[in-house]
Structure 1
Amino acid sequence: MVREAARSEIDRLAELWFDVWHQSHARLSPPDLVRLRTRENFRDRLQAVLPDIRVVGPRDAPVGFCALKGDELYQLFVSPQAQGSGVAARLIADAETRLAERGVEIAWLTCAIGNDRAARFYEKSGWRRSGTIVNMAETSEGPYPVEIWRYEKRLAS
């Protein structure tokens, strides 16, 4: 079941995000960005979007989360133990519903170049790669330019 994230889950979510990001993105990212991707960085970013975070898993032990920001599916991360279990599919479907309810016609998300597993999942979920862009990643030292794949999906209104 997809539910709202609780404030008490921020530390657990930051840990999950840190672990999965470093397993899946560190090898694809510039060393300077990897250095800036600390638990505290993830925690601060989660705090800023807490009202827009939804999770799957027991209270205080979520196994996946999805965060929205404007018309963007901002973050989607699932623990290795829950990958392949349908958690990501439930989270992305929930995110698409919430975005459509906000009146978003074309939603977008970013994907690290070379993150082929995520890219296949997005494409299987009906998202299409619209191109490569420079995204300004949020860091404790300010925006950091990163070239990424941009995906878009037209939502039913």
Structure 2
Amino acid sequence: MHVRNAEEREIDHLARLWYEGWQDAHAQILPAELRRLRALDGFRQRLQAALPNTRVVGPRGAPYGFCITKGDEFYQIYVSAHARGSGAAGALMADAEARLAKSGVETAWLACAIGNHRAARFYEKCGWRRVGVATYQAETSTGTFPLEVWRYEKRLAFAI
């Protein structure tokens, strides 16, 4: 599966994918206050800011999955519902891990919403280890929202 850089013209499409994926994965398990702060435009703004670190799978103009890295953090990964089970998420994860390692990260980390068992199973299948619970400052349109999350880490053995 080909993983490539996201393009500026794909931001609206990716924002919709992220918004829908976030609602599907989190609407029933996260606080109502955070749900109210998760508007489509906020996802669009975050994608715009993260575009240089955003990679996608799928056709140009209509990708069906993306991931974002941020420093030593595996920041986001979303795959459309119709692409689940296709290998897209695994390809995005492998690409992100390679990019993190190439940038010198030895131990990467990610935040997983407590109760998001589908994501947790995927991370564990990819070799990530849950190391505990942490308070994560989730970005919102009004600043940050403190959220208790499962913290996962992975030693990137091939780090340079």
Partner of 2:27: 26
Q: Give the residue type in structure 2 aligned to 1:132.
A: V
Q: Distance in 2 between matches of 1:111 and 1:137?
A: 11
Partner of 1:122: 123
Q: Distance in 2 between matches of 1:21 and 1:138?
A: 13
Cα offset for 1:43? 0.5
Q: Counterparts in 2 of 1:1-150, with a 5 A limit?
A: 1-150=2-151
Q: Give the residue type in structure 1 aligned to 2:59.
A: P
Cα offset for 1:75? 0.2
Structure 1 gaps of 5+ residues are: none
Structure 2 gaps of 5+ residues are: none
Which consecutive aligned stretches of 4+ in structure 1 deviate over 4 angstroms post-superposition?
none
Q: Distance in 2 between matches of 1:64 and 1:23?
A: 15
Q: Distance in 2 between matches of 1:92 and 1:133?
A: 22
- Count how many residue pairs are aligned between Structure 1 and Structure 2: 157
Deviations 1:119-143 (A, max 9, x none): 0110010000011001001011111
Q: Distance in 2 between matches of 1:69 and 1:26?
A: 24
Percent of aligned pairs sharing the same letter: 61
Deviations 1:51-106 (A, max 9, x none): 00000000010000000100001000000000011000000000000000000000
Deviations 1:17-69 (A, max 9, x none): 00010011111110010011111010011111100000000001000000010
Q: Secondary structure at the match of 2:140?
A: coil
Calculate the TM-score normalised by the size of structure 2.
0.97
What value does the CA root-mean-square deviation take over the aligned residues? 0.5
